[in-house]
Structure 1
């Protein structure tokens, strides 16, 4: 039986949507990680002393994460009230302009402020893209769609590292901004979510209501658990890999561990990890089982890294790839969040959850520094690693399996707390 022209057109639209969402996440990851990759060179060039490098780097990265935190709320609410497409266009325009401005900074405070603005823009990309894909594809296959978004997107880290290798750090920011502007034109052919359009017609349904999300105990607890299962992800990238040069000195590394190379190899690993996690979730018909496996793998690989005395830069790169495999459950993590809530809150949740995980790097960093002062760098990293994985596994145990869940429903205004 041959497919009808309408079915073929629908399939082409879905393929285009997944492609554009994937390329959007590619640019998102490039711009999200470019500071971690060019941190040392850029801070040197604007006059930061070597002894202040780690703390100033944390300050700027935390400002970016604060922008992601605030932007996640802004874009999430807008996505449920005004549509997923508007968020995709608005967010990429903002972070593209911010990244171009980053190429002109001359001092730490301006650097941090512009990364904050870039963070606000970056906050809308992933949540809106995943929401569109999850709502458009059949429930049995949506895991493949979100998997492809993550796999293609995460190679943005490779692009960021390669661009920073051939260009200076200022031009690396210009490239990131330029890629975003180009992507705006590619998005002209994609369509709005049918589930959102149907919900938008009903003026009686509250959309993007933070009161509905936070004012009901059952929803609030579920929402918090969705965030907590992702905590190990950005601790690994934002601290264990970004601070690789400093960690390497404590491990008596045979050479300087390059954070940029480590992040690039880790994100190659994350891409493969997302591919494996996506296929495994389809095979096991479960997202929870896959995240459990990957969290335990993360615990083992990071423990090995923190105990690797005399590590060489080459060994570090290989190990970064393996560590990346372990935290390659990002697509499953975001998909679980999308599947837990109704259409009128889905964009709010799917956009804020990953950005709250990124923003959680701020309190994680502050707590990490407390442990560093008390116990030194490596013991502090151990404590944070075990603590965050334990929290993630507990929260995972509190969420219901959502693999087979039908997403075409809305959250009612008043739902009894359970």
Structure 2
């Protein structure tokens, strides 16, 4: 007598969200964002130690050197993640930025401080893309949006903690804390296994497949290049808001609007607090609506409205109202998790980590150019509001155009290779 077959019980959502790759990935991104935003949270105190008052010129700004390091590090660690594995890359990047942060605490000159931020940027670049690629490959395709949203939401809260800690300890101690957190994370990563999808792709690669981690393959095929460019362009408004509007809130924009009592570390913390809720909301919405593109478009509209209010409607506001608007801007930027997830979903396993790591870091690195343009427009007689408006219109315009022609990737099967 045969035993009747019963359908397997569906795996619970919470079991997927408690997958070691998701939990450790979320903690890793928390440390990554803590260390990434430290340079903004301790801006005033650290620069004062080197006798710099106000906003430094772009080439002397440690944040710009960190972003430049992330631009280069994104390429290096992205290629490495596709060639040697996601976990190998994550171990290397964590060690590099942790040691650089500890060295930052011993800085005695602006030049050494900026050099440490450059090295830290190289390491910080490898965390998010490798983590998102890994989580996207180990979770069921119908649920990976929840997993990447959880990673991003827990991760960006690191900026809130960094800003809060900056209220109680010296800037040097804050860097030591960031470095120590990274070294602790190395031990937690031991429990995570390599992506089975990556291992399968590595073992089954054929002659017609693009070589794993071949960055230049993104430029040798017109269709592949358009996909890559669209992924970058939809993210440009994010670091315009963080690096221009929020980072310069205390030194430039609050003064322009006549708002008193604004502190950069609190502005950064409020922005990332909004981003925490935004990432959770965008991830849940994309699962509910079964669409990445619709949700990104909605969040871009909210972000653009908040930027408009920030530039033109804040004259005479109280500090509390100003911080609330910054929180709303962070909420609008909550498509950051979707933006990186989309980049990972657009490409095959042999190029996925390269794309997922380079795309967010090209966006972060674009801040170097934005800061230069903002400073040059100021020297040409433009007001801070006009200069920010010109850059913002360019960033948001490019993002909307790129999103218009982008492929919908919700539920897409990722177990495939890019072909030559």
Question: Are 2:399 and 1:392 aligned?
Answer: yes
Distance change (3 Å), C-alpha of 1:155 and 1:37: same
Paired residues of 2:58 and 2:64 also in contact (CA < 8 A): no
* Counterpart contact for 2:300–2:396, Cα < 8 Å: yes
Provide Cα deviations, 1:51-91, integer angstroms capped at 9, x if missing partner.
Answer: 5x332696211110110000000000000000000011110
Contact 1:99 1:174 (8 Å CA) reproduced: yes
Please give the alpha-carbon distance, in whole angstroms, between the structure 2 residues aligned to 1:13 and 1:358. Answer: 28
Change (3 A) 1:293 1:119: same
Q: Which residue of 2 aligns with 1:372?
A: 378
1:256 positional shift: 3.2
Whether the 8 Å CA contact 1:39–1:57 is kept in 2: the answer is: no
Q: What residue in structure 2 maps to residue 314 of structure 1?
A: 320
Give runs of aligned pairs for residues 3-402 of structure 1, distance below 5 A.
Answer: 11=15, 15-48=19-52, 50=53, 53-55=55-57, 59-202=61-204, 204=206, 205=209, 206-245=211-250, 246-253=252-259, 255-307=260-312, 308-374=314-380, 375-402=382-409
Q: Which runs of 5+ in 2 are unaligned?
A: 1-5
Distance 2:205 2:300 in 1: 42
Gaps (5+ residues) in structure 1? 414-418
Counterpart CA distance in 2 for 1:149 and 1:365 is 29
Query: How many Å separate the matches in 1 of 2:61 and 2:38?
Result: 15
Q: Measure how far apart 1:114 and its partner are.
A: 0.7
Contact 1:54 1:243 in 2 (8 A): no
Change (3 A) 1:78 1:188: same
Q: Equivalents in 2 of 1:381, 1:13: separation in Å?
A: 39
Q: Once the 2 structures are TM-superposed, how far is the Cα of residue 149 of structure 1 from its aligned partner?
A: 0.3
CA contact (8 A) 2:57 2:375 kept: no
Deviates more, 1:366-375 or 1:84-93: 366-375
State how many pairs are aligned.
Answer: 407
Residues 336-355 of structure 1: CA deviation (Å, up to 9, x unaligned): 00010000000000000000
TM-score by length of 1: 0.94
Partners of 1:37 and 1:164 within 8 A in 2: yes
Q: CA deviation at 1:302?
A: 1.2
**For 1:373-405, what per-residue CA distance to the aligned partner results, in whole angstroms no more than 9, with x for missing partners?**
331111111121122111100011121111121
Separation in 2 of the partners of 1:81 and 1:219? 19
- 1:416 is aligned to none
Q: Secondary structure at the match of 1:344?
A: coil
**Deviations 1:264-289, CA, capped at 9 Å, x for gaps:** 01101001011111111111111101
Q: Secondary structure, in 3 states, of the residue corresponding to 1:154? A: helix
Distance 1:192 1:25 in 2: 17
CA RMSD, 1 decimal: 1.8
